[in-house]
Structure 1
């Protein structure tokens, strides 16, 4: 057994430099030098600086004649895309990284966009951000990074910022509203009874008041949702109503290996040569078979818009997907359009 300890007696002790992590230091840093070649941040910086046209973002900026200066879309794109690459999705966390992380500081030139500016930028420019995606795809093609031989399609389940407890068909939500209203009446009845008792019941009364306020807000949300909502219909052969969600009605309940979540089915198409994503969409249903045609249609349109190919699917590029995308409707669609696709059915493992 090895024992660690302090030597006793006359043994000489090493003399180490003192150190402390709890200190602040002024460090001279050149931001350009932090973006090292052959790193993701270096590539991202030069793509946006030298190859991407950002004019699609400029339309909403109306501060030429006066007003406060705005964050450059190039800066916001760099820090947001780098954050997503690092798995940081919260706008508040991205702001923190810009304040404390040297790579984020280098990409943002030591500016610190407020989290509301970051969140507003992401939600306000869906078409412009898609334009950036297409321009990057075109750059990849010009650099010979796309093989145009095989496209692989697959999906994964992603949680949304919505509670699955707020889901239900319109009838189920109406029943939930009725139940909440009955709970409110019961709380008010007990609160009224406590009014006639001694002051020692003050704490219980405060709890009831808090419960009434919380339940009333929840009931109001459901009421407002039901006033305008229409039933969400599924994509099966015999469509039936699926559960709506009062927080994010484009998301859906879906089963994953870790249980049921409220979220999206993210489907991506990848070019084989360098695993470059050429198309990605999010669908609010767990079933994947109805997503195949929208994904392939958008790939065809995207390649035509960028001038890469007038009809990439007609060029007999191979398309692969797993059994989740298999059904008779998809087989008929692929055959009718002459698409060179390979999708196994659910029984392929049981056959020789």
Structure 2
């Protein structure tokens, strides 16, 4: 006797059209993103198309926003992969409602609306606060390095720029001399397309000179911040221009180190040390996370590896996004700075700072000059109390999980866009998607 199976007829056509919404279970993230985006103000996205004009009929901005946000919330960042998902993934098809924009359309929509996505991040933070998921009692600030969309093989050190620049100038001079030779002399030379060779070398020389100028300008700014001047003759000097003690500077004002590098693919990215060893062209992503539900209330990006000067910028963003300052801020020793603590005491006097002065569990050399370092001495005294130690222990489980989710759950380890401004906007899109994913999970639970 043969077995009896549930009917299976893959060739059978459906007699009535099916509803895509029936293909996803209730409580699916796609539904939450769909409903949330519909509740947000998308006027900024619509403004670009309001003028009309002779162009193809655009896709609806709400649909494009939903597809992009859901893509980032599920770890699909490539416009090509999103376009493929629109055909293969039920959740994407539900959000797109049987629209199939090409990958170029998705890419261009994202690039054209970076400022609008930034504003959308702020709207989601405020929505989370209305839902009671952001209370600003305690927030923790942390930074993480994210790889830039820049090739390590398309970069050059300052020393190599100098040697390559001289070599290219010599080659260009030789080609110009060859072009000036008589026709009789050229007959004995192998065939060579001199104009094409000149153009290629001149373009290469221009790129190197621009990169060299960027490195030198960056070094001049760094030297000026250290109190150096163009006429210091490599000698440390005080504010009055008089020589003071200390080792002489190794290089003249504005001259970069030989190993200083610049990228040709993303000049605004910087070489930064990555976790586990090694170096990559990266950006430093800063997040401020609320204690209540791990919602990211500020997401900023800088192209300096150090966190030490970033706290005022991040806390100012928190105040702008939420309309009020946090009651307490937790930060690790990377943010320790007497000048920063003095600034925040003036700009955000109602916010309690708990900033570590060193690695946890290490014996620290505590500052004793209260006149010179009043805020640092006061912070050291605060960490002698049991309350401050207990408060600071919360920092790890508040600040670090969202960065882990961004890299290990969403899989966002490298920016798709190039340039600091675009990286800032893309990181806000990532944090916007993560916040919605978190809000959806909290709502379901």
Is 1:263 the counterpart of 2:274 in the alignment?
no
Name 1:59's counterpart in structure 2: 47
Q: Where do 1:215-234 residues align within 5 Å?
A: 218-223=204-209, 231-232=217-218, 233-234=221-222
Superposed displacement of residue 146, structure 1: 1.1
Unaligned ranges ≥5, structure 2: 175-187, 228-253, 364-383, 385-445
Measured in 2, the distance between the counterparts of 1:101 and 1:141 equals 32
| Cα deviation digits, residues 279-325 of structure 1 (max 9, x gap) | 10111121111211111111112223xxxx3xx24xxx111112222
The answer on whether the counterparts of 1:235 and 1:290 sit within 8 Å (CA) in structure 2 is: no
Superposed displacement of residue 330, structure 1: 2.2
Name 1:69's counterpart in structure 2: 57
SS at match of 2:92: helix
Is 1:155 the counterpart of 2:143 in the alignment?
yes
Measured in 1, the distance between the counterparts of 2:223 and 2:2 equals 75
- Which one of 325, 341, 352 corresponds to residue 335 of structure 2? 325
| Cα deviation digits, residues 63-112 of structure 1 (max 9, x gap) | 63653210111111111111112222222222122222221111111222
Name 1:40's counterpart in structure 2: 29
CA shift in 2, pair 1:182/1:114, >3 Å: farther
Measured in 2, the distance between the counterparts of 1:122 and 1:290 equals 30
| Cα deviation digits, residues 140-169 of structure 1 (max 9, x gap) | 111111122111111111111112344457
Superposed displacement of residue 37, structure 1: 3.2
Superposed displacement of residue 119, structure 1: 1.7
- Which one of 221, 231, 247 corresponds to residue 265 of structure 2? 247
Is 1:99 the counterpart of 2:118 in the alignment?
no
**Relative contact order, CA 8 A, sep 6+: which one is greater?**
2
Superposed displacement of residue 334, structure 1: 3.2
The answer on whether the counterparts of 1:160 and 1:264 sit within 8 Å (CA) in structure 2 is: yes
Superposed displacement of residue 61, structure 1: 1.5
| Cα deviation digits, residues 159-180 of structure 1 (max 9, x gap) | 1111234445767534444456
Measured in 1, the distance between the counterparts of 2:84 and 2:45 equals 25
Query: What TM-score do you get using the length of structure 1 for normalisation?
Result: 0.73
Measured in 1, the distance between the counterparts of 2:114 and 2:60 equals 17
CA shift in 2, pair 1:319/1:159, >3 Å: same
SS at match of 1:290: coil
The answer on whether the counterparts of 2:145 and 2:284 sit within 8 Å (CA) in structure 1 is: yes
Measured in 2, the distance between the counterparts of 1:163 and 1:58 equals 36
CA shift in 2, pair 1:274/1:348, >3 Å: closer
Q: For structure 1, which segment, 110-119 or 146-155, has the greater mean C-alpha deviation from structure 2 after superposition?
A: 110-119
The answer on whether the counterparts of 2:157 and 2:261 sit within 8 Å (CA) in structure 1 is: yes
RMSD value, Cα: 4.2
Query: What TM-score do you get using the length of structure 2 for normalisation?
Result: 0.59
Measured in 2, the distance between the counterparts of 1:177 and 1:292 equals 40
Is 1:350 the counterpart of 2:362 in the alignment?
yes
| Cα deviation digits, residues 162-206 of structure 1 (max 9, x gap) | 1234445767534444456678999xxxxxxxx989xxxxxxx9x
The answer on whether the counterparts of 1:157 and 1:264 sit within 8 Å (CA) in structure 2 is: yes
Q: Where do 1:1-352 residues align within 5 Å?
A: 29-49=18-38, 51-61=39-49, 64=52, 67-167=55-155, 173-179=161-167, 218-223=204-209, 231-232=217-218, 233-234=221-222, 238=226, 243-258=261-276, 259-304=278-323, 309=324, 312-313=325-326, 317-336=327-346, 337-338=348-349, 339-346=351-358, 348-351=360-363
The answer on whether the counterparts of 1:169 and 1:231 sit within 8 Å (CA) in structure 2 is: no
The answer on whether the counterparts of 1:231 and 1:244 sit within 8 Å (CA) in structure 2 is: no
